[in-house]
Amino acid sequence: MTTPFLYIPTFAPIVNGASVPNGLLFTYAAGTTNPKATFQDPAGIQPNTNPVQLDITGAATVRLEPGSYHFVLMDSTGTTVLWDQDFYNAPYLTAADIIGLMSGDDLGSLLHPTTDAEKTLSIVPLDRSYPVGYPERYAVNTIPGTTDMTVAFQTAVNVLKVSGGRLVYGTGPYLLTAPIDCSISTSGGAKPITVTCSSSGHNVADGVIASHSGVAVFDCTGNDTIQFIDASIKTAIPAATFPSVGILLARNSTKASLINRIVRCRIVGYFGVACLYNYGSENSYEQANYFANYNPAANTATRIYTANNVSSLSSTIPGRIASGAVSNIVHDVIAPADLNAGQGANSDCVRLEQVDGYHSYGGWAASIGGRSLVYVDQTSAASNLNVIHGLQAENSSPPPSYNILFSTSASTKTPSGWSIENIRSISSVNAIAAVDNKTNWDGFRISHIVEQSSKGISLPGTLQGSSFIESGPMPVTIGIVSASCFLRGSSSQWTITTMNGVGFDTGAAPASGFGTPTGNSIVNNYPGGSATLLQTSQTVAEILVILKARGFIVA
């Protein structure tokens, strides 16, 4: 009776770095050449042939009886002895027994044998004690942070493109001197890949260090199944040589790239464009990430979402990235942390360019001496149906000029359906602003903006179909307020060229009456005193306007 196994005990030896296809395993009683049986089943009913014939991959199921064995492994012709082990004494192959018999890659050949994907790509692992997806399976990180691990990372990714799985790195750091190509040329059909750092708390010290001027640390163009979980990506600070972006998500020439996930990641260092760049990769989800760009150059950002590839980036594979305008909708961002510490001209945290359905909830941001926390680029088209709730601006010195800024454009743009609420604003010019009167806001809801210093809201254009509900005496400057708008706040802080909407003044002192009545007709018992019929009719008219604006009456 053999001893039961938790897993099928596969014998797959590696000799001189290669498997033994169709090899012959002779099994004898210890110290003799008397045959001793091995079995295929846990019950010890189905014996193997003796010798055991390995299959074309060089593997066979071998279960042992109690007592000692003498093993002899020969080539497929039975003429060359490849391995001879006598007095092997164990009822079955335990991990300790295997370690006693073999070490290094020999042990790994049993634990993590060469996979079909590796065979398809003609890849021979260096150390099979590491599972598929570990860069150390293909190279030794001899001096962490100094030894170039680019080829090992790329090899691991190439295998995962065929089989799917996790790219795992831990004890590091790992030096990368070229972009890691995670891109896909087709539309759909990509195998799912998860990039993750296995060290506790995804310590940035154990992350990858990019030291090159390529487009990205990870180029994910066209890949609609890749995700980054607890990954750490960095450059030196300061850095003389650095990539354009940390992660590039982009449509490929077949327009593929969807449903990417980035969770609890750290992307920190010098980046020529941004930590994260998204060119038309829709339906993305980000949660609890930290993006920090320390590059002092102009026009940098931490995150960019664009429909027109505003930074004109290219994929590592020529011609793979899409061209022109593509749809870029639905990006859900939870508890982001963004730091642009470069203090370069026109630097921002987040940039939105022709993006619809960007939903950001909570989080923290600092653009030290920069242009804005959120910059809306309207060069090509408006961005619509976007939500920014609960953003907390850092008390940086100097602060950014704006928290949220809508750019100028050659033609009139009308962004619509925005909700901006519960914002802690710290800015030197305005909390929320549009550059000029070519921007009209339609269907905006702005409420509960708390400022450290009162800089307020500026819209030289037209406000339509919108409601402003303030938290305090915030300055508000608007060109035209249409009749469908409702404003509530301290009207003494409003500068409105044309006011057709409804304003509710929360900053004025409570009414104590209408003063001394004049005229012959007096209405007694009016709240706070008495008033003339003219004064009463004016008040009623104002009430009717408010009721119409709120939809309680129609006429």
Distance from C-alpha of 292 to C-alpha of 311, rounded to nearest angstrom = 19
pLDDT less than 50: residues of the chain: 1-7, 201, 509-528
Query: How many angstroms separate the first and last alpha carbons of the chain?
Result: 93
Which of 95, 111, 127 marks a domain boundary? Answer: 111
* Residues of the domain holding 541: 516-555
Two structure tokens written together for 349:
């945290």
Q: Which residues contact 200 (CB under 8 A, 6 or more apart)?
A: none
Residue 26 Ramachandran class (φ > 0 left, ψ -120 to 50 alpha, else beta): beta
Q: Which residues contact 339 (CB under 8 A, 6 or more apart)?
A: 290, 291, 292, 293, 302, 349, 365, 366, 368, 394
Cα–Cα separations (whole angstroms), residue 382 to 351, 458, 493:
13, 18, 29
- Return the pLDDT at 525: 43
| Cβ atoms of residues 183 and 320 within 8 Å | yes
Total domains, the chain: 2
Cα–Cα separations (whole angstroms), residue 486 to 45, 200, 219, 311, 495:
85, 51, 47, 39, 15
Distance from C-alpha of 72 to C-alpha of 185, rounded to nearest angstrom = 48
- Return the pLDDT at 9: 78
Cα–Cα separations (whole angstroms), residue 13 to 75, 78, 365, 461:
11, 16, 55, 76
Distance from C-alpha of 321 to C-alpha of 181, rounded to nearest angstrom = 12
On whether residue 17 sits in a domain, the answer given is yes
Q: b vs e for 200-231, b when ≥16 Cβ sit within 10 Å of the residue's Cβ?
A: eebebebbbbbbbebbbbbbbbbbbbbbbbbb
On whether residue 176 sits in a domain, the answer given is no
- At residue 470's C-alpha, the angle toward residues 467 and 475, to 5°, is 100
| Cβ atoms of residues 430 and 423 within 8 Å | no
In DSSP notation, 91-160 reads SS--HHHHHHH--THHHHHHHSPPPHHHHHTT---S-TTSPTT-GGGT---SSTTTSB-HHHHHHHHHHH
On whether residue 395 sits in a domain, the answer given is no
Residue 137, φ and ψ in degrees, nearest 5: -65, -25
Distance from C-alpha of 201 to C-alpha of 514, rounded to nearest angstrom = 66
Two structure tokens written together for 57:
């991959």
Distance from C-alpha of 143 to C-alpha of 219, rounded to nearest angstrom = 25
The tens digit of pLDDT for each residue in 472-519 reads: 678 999 999 997 898 888 888 899 999 888 777 776 544 444 444 444
- Going by the DSSP 8-state scheme, the letter that residue 493 receives in this structure is G
On whether residue 193 sits in a domain, the answer given is no
- Return the pLDDT at 229: 95
Q: Which residues contact 105 (CB under 8 A, 6 or more apart)?
A: 14, 17, 125, 126, 127, 128, 129
Which 3 state secondary structure label does DSSP give 226? Answer: strand
On whether residue 100 sits in a domain, the answer given is yes
On whether residue 34 sits in a domain, the answer given is yes
pTM of the model: 0.76
Cα torsion angle, 125, 127, 133, 136, sign: negative
- Return the pLDDT at 203: 58
Two structure tokens written together for 512:
């104590």
Average pLDDT, the chain: 87
- Return the pLDDT at 372: 97
Cα torsion angle, 250, 256, 258, 264, sign: negative
On whether residue 480 sits in a domain, the answer given is no
Which of 86, 111, 136 marks a domain boundary? Answer: 111
The tens digit of pLDDT for each residue in 25-60 reads: 999 999 999 999 988 887 788 899 999 999 998 999
Q: List the one residue out of 490, 353, 381, 467 whose CA is nearest residue 420.
A: 467
- Return the pLDDT at 338: 98
- Return the pLDDT at 6: 38
On whether residue 329 sits in a domain, the answer given is no
Two structure tokens written together for 347:
């630097």
- At residue 433's C-alpha, the angle toward residues 428 and 434, to 5°, is 135
- Return the pLDDT at 523: 43
Two structure tokens written together for 497:
């060229």
Residue 71: give its domain's CATH number: 2.170.14.10
Two structure tokens written together for 158:
């190439």
Q: Which residue shows structure tokens 């030290």?
A: 368
Which of 56, 87, 111 marks a domain boundary? Answer: 111
Distance from C-alpha of 159 to C-alpha of 156, rounded to nearest angstrom = 5
Distance from C-alpha of 460 to C-alpha of 434, rounded to nearest angstrom = 7
